């Protein structure tokens, strides 16, 4: 509703709230089919279809629901229209009482759904218990009551589920990721089957397209949120066994071997390691290590205003989450990574510099010489390997006279790879 959205926006900016209120009020539409046109119909809910502000506006629209959690033992999470209430207590029965209060109390979940014209579908609600041990007493399903606008009440029994899919991740009560791993294997098999169907010898996709399809579509599909459910494989310090997500890795190896065979058109008896090399595909364990490393670097580079900043900057000795284990497994010090602050720019922002790429080196050299003679300040930078070392340098010229330069030696060529 425009009024509730404007109220949420007014907490951060009065100017924007007035702009959005003018944009979303006084709107009308018509129904037209054949030779019939209806009378004007008032639009009292929602934004303009296809509006690029929809996601941002819904974040403000949904904010009061996320703010329902007021106490230390209450947590509320949400992403777009997916919301979750979490209660921590000494017993499951006490946690159920907290959840019931979060839904039914004034200003709670049901009040938000009524005032924001977004009624909950009660049949879609699910309850999951996370007991501390198998000795905990698990109560029956949770009963909640919703007060309707006409004064009546609707009673609903929220059933307890053993697993639930939230934001693409399947959770279970023991957080063992068994159900989600089965989904990962099913997703990998499905994509490998689709690639097989598309790579027929006559009229199918060429091998390099199959390779591209696998890396850009299949790999992101079955490695989704791997930093949560996948543990990097490491050798055990006390035995010859490997530690980490070894089981899921072994099950994904033959699936990728099928893709490697499609790309290389090799014989079925060819070793899987050889196929990966010729198909230019990382082995499964190294592939997941790459995904974990990318996720770890991204978390370490978050600014201090991000909720995950504390996860990267503070070491936790007990009760560590999978995100905490990433930095220890990868031996990555977050203090050595520069935070990347978000940059706020106006919609009509125009860069104060221009970039262009010329067609050939002689033309580029000629243009560079002309700019060097005509501009006040010129800066040149480059990096390369020289005399068994990798280095970078930058030189600044003022009125065609060198005024400052910087040199930096990175190290040996075996430790660094420069990409032009």
The kind and range of the H/E element at 94 are helix 92-104
Distance (Å, whole) CA 316 – CA 314: 6
Q: Are 125 and 166 in contact (CB under 8 A)?
A: no
Residue bearing the bigger pLDDT, 99 or 233: 99
| Virtual torsion, Cα 209, 213, 214, 219, nearest 10 deg | 150
In this predicted structure, what is the pLDDT of residue 8? 64
DSSP secondary structure letters along 14-57: HHHHHHHHHHHSS-EE--EETTEEPPPEE--SS--TT-TTHHHH
- Helix (H, G, I), strand (E, B), or coil: what is residue 266? coil
Report helix, strand or coil for 264. Answer: helix
CA-based torsion, 131, 133, 134, 139: positive or negative:
negative
What mean pLDDT value characterizes the chain?
A: 84
pLDDT at 420 exceeding the cut of 50: no
pLDDT tens column, 278-329: 999 999 999 999 999 998 888 888 888 887 877 776 767 777 777 777 877 7
pLDDT above 90 covers a percentage of the chain that reads 23
pLDDT one-digit tens code per residue, 78-90: 888 888 999 999 9
pTM to 2 decimal places: 0.73
Q: What is the pLDDT of residue 394?
A: 92
List the structure tokens of 332: 């990555």
**Residue 151 burial class via C-beta count within 10 angstroms: exposed 0-12, middle 13-18, buried 19 and up:** exposed
Q: CA triplet 262, 267, 269: central angle to 5 degrees?
A: 120
For the ranges 183-192, 319-328, 347-356, the one whose mean pLDDT is highest: 183-192
What are the start-end ranges of the E strands in 107-220? 142-147, 153-158, 163-166, 169-172
Judge whether residue 224 has pLDDT over 90: yes
pLDDT at 1: 56
Cα 302 from Cα 310, distance rounded (Å): 10
Count the residues in the chain. Answer: 420
**Span 106-165, pLDDT tens digits:** 888 888 888 887 888 888 889 999 988 888 888 888 888 888 877 788 888 888 888 999
Query: Nearest 5°: CA angle at 40, between 37 and 42?
Result: 140
Name the nearest CA neighbour of 192 among 239, 131, 250, 257. Answer: 257
Confidence (pLDDT) at 249? 93
The per-residue pLDDT for range 19-59, each reduced to its tens digit, is: 777 777 788 888 888 888 888 888 777 777 778 888 888 88
């Amino acid at each position: 509703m425009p009024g509730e959205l404007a109220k949420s926006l007014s907490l951060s900016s009065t100017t924007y709230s007035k702009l959005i209120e003018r944009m979303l009020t006084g709107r009308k539409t018509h129904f037209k089919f054949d030779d019939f046109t209806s009378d004007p119909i008032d639009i009292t809910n929602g934004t303009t279809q296809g509006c690029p502000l929809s996601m941002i506006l819904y974040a403000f629209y949904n904010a009061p629901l996320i703010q329902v959690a007021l106490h230390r033992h209450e947590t509320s999470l949400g992403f777009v229209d997916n919301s979750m209430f979490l209660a921590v207590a000494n017993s499951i029965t006490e946690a159920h009482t907290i959840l019931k209060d979060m839904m039914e109390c004034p200003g709670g979940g049901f009040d938000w759904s009524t005032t924001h014209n977004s009624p909950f579908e009660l049949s879609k609600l699910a309850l999951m218990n996370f007991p501390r041990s198998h000795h905990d007493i698990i109560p029956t399903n949770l009963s909640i009551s919703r007060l309707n606008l006409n004064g009546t009440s609707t009673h609903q029994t929220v059933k307890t589920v053993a697993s639930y899919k939230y934001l693409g991740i399947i959770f279970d009560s023991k957080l063992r990721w068994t159900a989600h791993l089965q989904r990962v294997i099913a997703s990998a098999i499905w994509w490998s089957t689709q690639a097989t169907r598309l790579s027929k010898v006559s009229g199918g996709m060429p091998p390099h397209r199959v390779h591209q399809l696998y890396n850009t579509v299949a790999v992101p599909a079955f490695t989704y949120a791997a930093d949560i459910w996948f543990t990097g494989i490491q050798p055990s310090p006390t035995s010859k066994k490997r530690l980490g997500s070894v089981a899921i890795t072994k099950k994904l190896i033959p699936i990728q071997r099928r893709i490697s065979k499609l790309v290389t058109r090799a014989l079925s008896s060819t070793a899987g390691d050889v196929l990966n090399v010729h198909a230019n595909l990382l082995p499964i364990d190294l592939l997941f290590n790459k995904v974990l490393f990318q996720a770890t670097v991204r978390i370490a580079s978050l600014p201090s205003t991000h909720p995950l900043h504390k996860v990267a900057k503070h070491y936790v000795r007990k009760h560590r989450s999978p995100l905490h284990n990433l930095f220890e497994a990868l031996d990555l010090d977050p203090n050595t990574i520069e935070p990347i602050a978000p940059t706020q720019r106006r919609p009509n922002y125009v860069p104060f510099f221009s970039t262009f790429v010329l067609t050939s080196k002689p033309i580029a050299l000629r243009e560079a010489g002309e700019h060097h003679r005509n501009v006040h300040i010129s800066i040149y930078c480059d990096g390369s390997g020289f005399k068994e070392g990798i280095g970078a340098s930058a030189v600044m010229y003022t009125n065609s006279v060198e005024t400052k330069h910087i040199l930096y030696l990175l190290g040996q060529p075996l430790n660094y790879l420069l990409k032009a």
